[in-house]
Amino acid sequence: MSFDGRQIEELLPRLRRYSRALCGSREAADDLTQDTLERAWLKRAQWQPGTNLRAWLFAIMHSVFINGVKRVRPTESLEALGDAAPQPEGAARADSGVQLSEMAAALRRLPDEQREVVLLVGLEQFSYAEAAEALGVPMGTVMSRLSRGRERLRDLLEGGAATAALRRVK
Amino acid sequence: MMKDDQLHAYVDDALTPEERELVERHLQDNPADAQRVRAWEANNRSLHRLFDPVLEEPRPLHLRVRGPSTAARRVLPIAAALALGVALGYLARPWLAPGPPAAPLIARQAAAAYVAYSPEVRHPVEVGAQDEQHLVAWLSKRLQAPLRVPVLSSEGWQLLGGRLLPPASSSDPAPIALLVYENARGQRLSLLVKRESTQRDTAFAFSQDGPTRVFHWIDGPFGYALAGDVGREELQRLAELTYRQLNP
C-alpha cells in the first residue's frame, strides 16, 4: 500500500512554494515540481506508510534538483529573477529594510546547498532532523550549512542595502 | 561563549524553555549577536512574504500528481483531445474496413473516453460528486431518461463526478454520459451510459483495448460500459455490483 494522490495534492502547494524559492524562474520551478511528482509516483511503492511523506517528497525534489543543476546552471540574469518570485504590490520592502526583489536576488547568489537548508528550515519550517532526512546529510551538516547560508544572506543583503543607501545619498 | 547553533535553534524555536532563557540572557549582553539573530528572523519573514503567495496560486494545468513521462506532458491535454477526436472519428467509420472483429461500438467508446479522461487530475469531470443531485438531474435531462448513479464505495471506489461526451456520429446522435470513480490509490474507473434504441437487454460482454478493460451490457433504455485499468476479475465484480445497483 502506498500513499494516494490526495495526500500528495495536499502537499503540492508547499512543494511548489519551495520549488519557486529554490529555482530561478516560474517555469523552472514548475518543471522541478512536475519531475518530482512523476518520480514520486514511480517510486510510490518505496514509501513506508507511517513515515514522513513530506520529508520523503522533499527528498525526491532535492535529488531531482541537484541532478538537474548539474545539467543546466539556473540563469542568474536579472530578468529571470524578476520572474522568480510573485511580484508584491509596489516596491514592497522586506523587514530588514531591503526590497523583496533584493532578497530574491541574494537568495539566488547562495550556493545551492546553503539555499536549500535556509529555505527548508526558514520557509518550510522543517525541523533540523527533517531537513537532514530530506537532504540525506547528517544533522551537523545541516547546522553548518544553515549557519553559513544565513550569514551569507545577511552579508549580501546588508551590503546591498548599504550600496542602495549610497546611491540614494548621491 | 554561545555557539551559533544555539542561536539558530533559538530562531527556529528548537530549544527547551531553559535553553531559550539562556540564549535570551546572552543576547541582552551581546548586542552584536542580538543584531544577527534579528536579521535572520527578519530574513525568514521576508522569505515568507516573497514566496507564501505561491501557496495561493492556481495550479498550472500541466501539473499532475500522476502522469506520463516528462516529454509527453506539455502536449498531453492536446493529445488527449486529439486522441478522443481520432477515436470518435474511428468509431464513426463505416463497417467496411477489414481487420479483426472489433469490440462493439459502446465498448470502444468507453475505452476511448477512459483513456482520454481518466488521467485528468483536475478536470476528470464537469460536475463533481459534491453536486451529485445536480449531476443526476443534468445528465438525466440530456439522456432523456432518469439516470441512476451506482455507489461503489463498498469496493473502495468513490464517485468523482461526471461529464457529458459528444455523440459518436451524426448517425448515432445519442448523448453519452460518463461517470468517473477513483479509489484510494488514485486509480480511475469510468462508467459510460448511453441511450440504446434496441431496448434488448444483453449479458455482460468483455473486451480489452491495451491495458484498458471494459465490461458492457444493455439494460432497459441504456447501454452501460465500465472501463478501467484494473484486473478482469475486479472489473467484473464492479460491473456486477453496478448492475445490481441499477436493478434493485
- A156 Cα to chain B: minimum distance (Å): 11
Domain co-membership, B21 together with B75: no
**For residue A103, what pLDDT is reported?**
92
Q: Which of A64-68, A83-87, B60-64, B210-214 is predicted with the least confidence, judged by mean pLDDT? A: A83-87
Answer whether A88 sits within 8 Å of B47, measured CB to CB. no
Is the pLDDT assigned to residue B207 strictly greater than 90? no
Please, what is the average pLDDT of chain B?
A: 80
Domain assignment of residue B215, yes or no: yes
Answer whether B70 sits within 8 Å of A4, measured CB to CB. no
Domain assignment of residue B116, yes or no: yes
Calculate the alpha carbon distances from B234 to A15, B34, B113, B173 in Å. Answer: 35, 65, 20, 32
Chain B residue closest to A18 (CA)? B51
Domain assignment of residue B61, yes or no: no
Domain co-membership, B16 together with B139: no
A12 touches chain B (CB under 8 A): yes
Domain co-membership, B91 together with B24: no
Domain assignment of residue B39, yes or no: yes
Domain co-membership, B51 together with B74: no
Domain co-membership, B201 together with B78: yes
Q: Which of A109-113, B51-55, B79-83, B160-164 is predicted with the least confidence, judged by mean pLDDT? A: B79-83
Domain co-membership, B28 together with B81: no
Domain co-membership, B83 together with B204: yes
Domain assignment of residue B197, yes or no: yes
Of residues B8, B40, B60, nearest to A143 (C-beta): B8
- At B209, which CATH number? 3.30.200.100
Domain co-membership, B109 together with B140: yes
Q: Which residues of chain B make contact with A16, given a CB cutoff of 8 A?
A: 54-55, 57, 59, 63
**Nearest alpha-carbon partner for B231 in B210, B213, B204, B209:** B213
Chain A residue closest to B44 (CA)? A122
**For residue B69, what pLDDT is reported?**
39
Domain co-membership, B50 together with B74: no
Is the pLDDT assigned to residue A72 strictly greater than 60? no
Domain assignment of residue B191, yes or no: yes
Domain co-membership, B168 together with B228: yes
**For residue B62, what pLDDT is reported?**
59
More confident residue, A119 or B139: A119
| Mean pLDDT (whole number) for A82-93 | 48
Q: Is this prediction's ipTM beyond 0.90? A: no
Domain co-membership, B45 together with B81: no
Answer whether A33 sits within 8 Å of B63, measured CB to CB. yes
Q: Which of A11-20, A57-66, B30-39, B68-77 is predicted with the least confidence, judged by mean pLDDT? A: B68-77
Is the pLDDT assigned to residue B42 strictly greater than 70? yes
**For residue A163, what pLDDT is reported?**
52
Domain assignment of residue B65, yes or no: no
- Domains (ranges, CATH) in chain A? 5-169 (1.20.140.160)
Domain co-membership, B39 together with B152: no
Q: For residue range B151-190, list pLDDT tens digits in order.
A: 998 889 998 888 888 776 667 777 889 999 988 888 899 9
Q: Quick count: other Cβ atoms within 10 Å of Cβ B38?
A: 14
Q: Quick count: other Cβ atoms within 10 Å of Cβ B231?
A: 10
**For residue A68, what pLDDT is reported?**
76
**For residue B136, what pLDDT is reported?**
87
Domain count, chain B: 2
Domain limits at B227?
70-246
Domain assignment of residue B64, yes or no: no
Q: For residue range B87-131, list pLDDT tens digits in order.
A: 554 444 333 333 344 567 888 888 888 877 777 766 667 777 778
Of residues B42, B54, B60, nearest to A94 (C-beta): B42
